[in-house]
Amino acid sequence: MAFWKQLSLSFLVIAAGVLLWIWFVPGADGVLRRIGVPEGMIALVAPVGRESSTAGAGGQPAGSAQQQAQGQTPGQGQGAGNRRGGAAATLVVVQAVTIGKVNDRLSALGTGDAIQSVTVMPQVSGTLAEIAIKSGDRVEKGQVIARLESEEQRIARDQAQVVLKSATEKSELYSNLKSAVSRIDAFDAAIALEAAELALASADLEFKRREIVAPITGVAGIVTVNPGDNVTTSTAIATLDDRSELLVDFWVPERFAPVVKVGQPLTATPVARPGKLYEGSVEAVDNRIDEASRTLRIRARIGNDNDDLRAGMAFTVEMSFDGERYPAVDPLSVQWDSDGSFVWRVTDGKAEKVAVRIVQRNPDAVLVEAELAEGDRVVTEGIQRVRAGRPVEVLGDEAGKKSVDGEKPVASR
C-alpha cells in the first residue's frame, strides 16, 4: 500500500477514535474547548444535550448572554444549564432487587426395593414332593409353600416314639422298687428315658424340616422348580416380597449432607408413571460420602397401600429445604472491571457502585452475595454512561419522562 494511503487511513482511524471519545465520554467537549478547538466543530460532533454552554458572540457563553438579555444574573437558571452541560444526569432503566434461594430443592433418581425380601431355600436336601403355592400368590408367615419326600423321616420319628414309650414304662417300673440294686436300675432307666425324649425331638425336627415354610408375609415371585426335582440347601424355591411399603435408595450431592435428616418428608414419583405421587420420609442416612462420586446415600420409605409399586422400579425423589437466601438481580445489571463484578445501585438520584460475588446464574436472574437489600434499584440499561457519584435519571420516574428538548428519551445499554 502506498505511503499516502497508509497516512490517510491512519488519520481516519484517529478521527474516528476522537469522535467516539467525544460522543461517549461526558465532559469531553470541555476538554476540547480548553485546548482551543473552535465551538463550531464541537457543536458538529457533540451529542444532543451535551453541548455545555456553547460560546456566543465575543467569546461569551451563549447561556450567559441569554440570561443577561432576560435580566437574569449568571447564577440564575443553573439547573437548566447543568442539564445541557457536561454534568447532565444520565438516563437509565432500573429494576428492583428481589430475594432468591439456592439449595432449597433437591431432585434425585432412586431405585425401589421391598421393605422385606426373602429367597426361600430348603434346610435339607431331598426330592420335591409338592409345591403348595403358585407365582403371584400372597402367603402368610409360617405357611407351607413346598414339601420334600419325608417317608424315611416319618418312620424314624415313629421309631423314636416307640423307644420313648418303652423307656417311660421301664422308668416307672424301677422307680417303685426300694432295694439298692433297684435304685441303680431306676437311675439308668431315667437316663434312658431322657435319651429317648431327645431322640424323638431330633426325629420330629428332621420330619418337620421336610416342609418348607414362608419366613415372612409377602407375595411369591416366579416359582422355578417342580415336583420331582432334587434340591439342595442352595436351591431357591421362591422369592417373597413384602411390598406393603417400599424402600427407595438415592444419592444426593455432598452439599446436602448437613441438611438431610431422618424423618424429613419427601415425595417420590415412579419414572414409569409420571402422574402418580407418593408421600414418604427419610428412613436412613449413610454415615460417609462416597469418594468417587462425592454423593451421600439416602434411604426413603414410601407407602404402597394399593400395591401399585414393585421392587426395582425407578423413582424421582424430591425434597424441599429452607435453602440459603441471596439478592437476585437482572443478568444485564452485572458488570466487570479490574476489581471483579459489580452493579450500579441508584441511591438518592446518584449512581453507587456495589461489588458483588456471583453465587448462581439463572436464565432470568443472577443470585449474588452483596450489600444489597430487597427493593434496592440497580441499573439494567444505560450502564455504559453511568459513573460513580454522578446524577442519574430513571426512566419512568417523573424526572425522567422527558428529555431536555421535550423528546422521549431512550436509554442505551
- Tell me the pairing of strands 90-96 and 392-394: parallel
Predicted local confidence at residue 15, as pLDDT = 77
Is 117 within the bounds of a domain? yes
Q: Does 343 fall in a domain? A: yes
- On whether both 189 and 233 belong to a single domain, the answer is no
Question: Cα separation of 52 and 74, whole Å?
Answer: 14
- In this structure, the answer to whether residues 244 and 370 fall within a common structural domain is no
Of 178, 209, 240, the position where a domain reaches its end is 209
R_g of the chain computed on alpha carbons:
47
Do 188 and 259 lie in a common domain? no
CB atoms within 10 A of CB 241: 20
Is residue 295 in a domain? yes
3-state SS assignment for residue 359: strand
Mean pLDDT (the chain) is 81
CA-based torsion, 379, 382, 388, 389: positive or negative: negative
Give the pLDDT of residue 405: 40
Range of the domain at 126: 105-144+214-321
Asked if residue 84 is part of any domain, the answer here is no
Residue 408 lies in a domain: no
How many CB atoms lie under 10 A from the CB of residue 305?
A: 9
User: 411 lies in a domain?
Assistant: no
| 256 and 116 both lie in a single domain | yes
Do 40 and 53 have their domain in common?
Answer: yes
Report the alpha-carbon distance of residue 304 to residue 389 in Å, rounded: 64
Q: Which of 165-174, 176-185, 237-246 has the lowest mean pLDDT?
A: 176-185
Is 244 in the same domain as 271? yes
* Residue 82, in any domain of the structure: no
Task: Judge whether 83 lies within some domain.
Answer: no
**What φ, ψ does residue 282 adopt, rounded to 5°?**
-75, 125
pLDDT per position as a tens digit, 56-110: 333 444 343 334 334 343 434 444 334 444 457 888 999 999 988 887 788 999 9
The phi, psi pair for 74, rounded to 5°, reads -60, -25
Beta strand extents in 97-237 (DSSP E only):
98-102, 105-120, 126-131, 138-139, 144-148, 211-213, 218-220, 230-231
Residue 42 sits in the same domain as residue 54: yes
In terms of pTM, does the model score above 0.75? no
Using the 3D structure, point to which of 321, 346, 374 is the last residue of a domain.
321
* 77 contacts 69 by C-beta, under 8 angstroms: no
Average pLDDT value for residue range 138-160: 91
C-alpha cell at 64: 450567559
pLDDT digits (tens, 9 = 90+) for 6-46: 777 887 888 787 777 777 776 676 677 777 677 666 666 66
Query: Which residue, 260, 292, 321, sits at the end of a domain?
Result: 321
What is the layout of strands, in order, in the sheet containing 98-102?
A: 98-102, 324-329, 366-369, 357-361
Residues 341 and 269 occupy one common structural domain: no
**Predicted confidence (pLDDT) per residue in 296-345, tens digit:** 999 999 999 888 899 999 999 999 888 788 899 999 999 998 889 999 99
The confidence score (pLDDT) of residue 82 equals 43
| Ramachandran area for residue 340 (φ above 0: left; ψ -120 to 50: alpha; else beta) | left
- Per the CB < 8 A criterion, the answer to whether 377 and 346 are in contact is yes
The number of distinct structural domains making up the chain is 4
> Can you read off the three cell numbers belonging to residue 68?
443577561
